[in-house]
Amino acid sequence: MSYDFQEYPDREMLIIALANRIAGALRTALTHEERALLVVPGGTSPGPVFDDLCAADLDWGRVDVLLSDERWVPEDSPRSNTALLKSRLLVNRAQKARSLPLYAPAAEPEEALEALAQPIGAELPVDVLLLGMGADMHTASLFPGGDTLDRALAADAPVLVPVRAPGAAEPRVTLSARVLDGAMNKHVLIFGAEKRRALDEARGKPAHEAPINAVLNGATVHWAE
Ligand SMILES: O=C1O[C@H](COP(=O)(O)O)[C@@H](O)[C@H](O)[C@H]1O
């Protein structure tokens, strides 16, 4: 397994460069496909990248945008990744993009899983993937100790997997590892010394201990202090 590690002098430079890389990869995909599928993370890290990317000059009307994972909370929750996506990425030029939902107002994710997975399955594979990573080496909602991690890591995993994990405050849904890893163009965004150490510690570990390893092959990791 090998990946590129790109270190930046500061977060601002990383954000500009990464937004440009993603926009460029989408433009390239759109030269040979009718539509392109962009998958992005939630959490605290990607907001500033979204702020730049949403202004990129590209044919957003032919782009589908999807979260890598979602916490099973309504959109008015401060923990909603969908709310982050809508307020920071699907604005400006990018408001023309089509958003594929990863949440529906049901009590448990299992009740909505099939309906959410169907339109996603129709757009696969992922053209451009941006992921985050937690200091516990989780990515998307592939958590060490997650109750469905084996299923989510399997070669024949479904598109979407519901997850409950010790490190996660609420139930979640996640794209499975095979869907994430199958992306044409893969980027991982991490900030700070703790996550850099976690990435180093992940080296050589099996994916059920360090789920980030399930998606790193061929990826570019973008890091700034
Ligand atoms: O819970 C989540 O965490 C990871 C990492 O988030 P961060 O706040 O440490 O940047 C994120 O990639 C994932 O999409 C999100 O649901």
Q: Is the CB of 42 under 6 A from ligand 1?
A: yes
pLDDT of residue 75: 97
pLDDT of residue 67: 99
pLDDT in tens, 20-53: 999 999 999 999 999 999 999 999 999 999 999 9
Counting every residue written for the chain, the total comes to: 225
Yes or no: say if 69 and 172 are a contact pair by the CB < 8 Å rule.
yes
pLDDT of residue 212: 98
Distance of alpha carbon 113 from its chain centroid, rounded? 18
pLDDT of residue 22: 98
Which of 11, 39, 45 to mutate to test ligand 1, by most ligand atoms within 8 A of the CB atom?
45
Domain locations along the chain:
4-224
Which of 18, 77, 81 to mutate to test ligand 1, by most ligand atoms within 8 A of the CB atom?
81
Counting atoms of ligand 1 from 1, which one is nearest the CA of 42?
14
pLDDT of residue 15: 98
pLDDT of residue 211: 98
Q: Is the CB of 213 under 6 A from ligand 1?
A: no
Instruction: Note the CATH architecture for domain 4-224.
Output: 3-Layer(aba) Sandwich (3.40)
Ranges of residues in the chain with a pLDDT under 50 are none
Counting atoms of ligand 1 from 1, which one is nearest the CA of 41?
14
Sheet with 128-131: list strands edge to edge: 4-7, 220-224, 185-191, 128-131, 36-40, 63-67, 98-100
pLDDT of residue 173: 98
pLDDT of residue 1: 83
Q: Is the CB of 48 under 6 A from ligand 1?
A: no
Q: Is the CB of 80 under 6 A from ligand 1?
A: no
ipTM for this prediction? 0.99
Rounded to two decimals, the pTM is 0.98
Which residue's CA is minimally distant from atom 9 of ligand 1?
134
Identity of the residue numbered 66:
L
Which of 133, 172, 195 to mutate to test ligand 1, by most ligand atoms within 8 A of the CB atom?
133
Rounded to whole angstroms, the Cα distance separating 116 from 166 reads 24
Q: Is the CB of 82 under 6 A from ligand 1?
A: no
Which residue's CA is minimally distant from atom 6 of ligand 1?
43
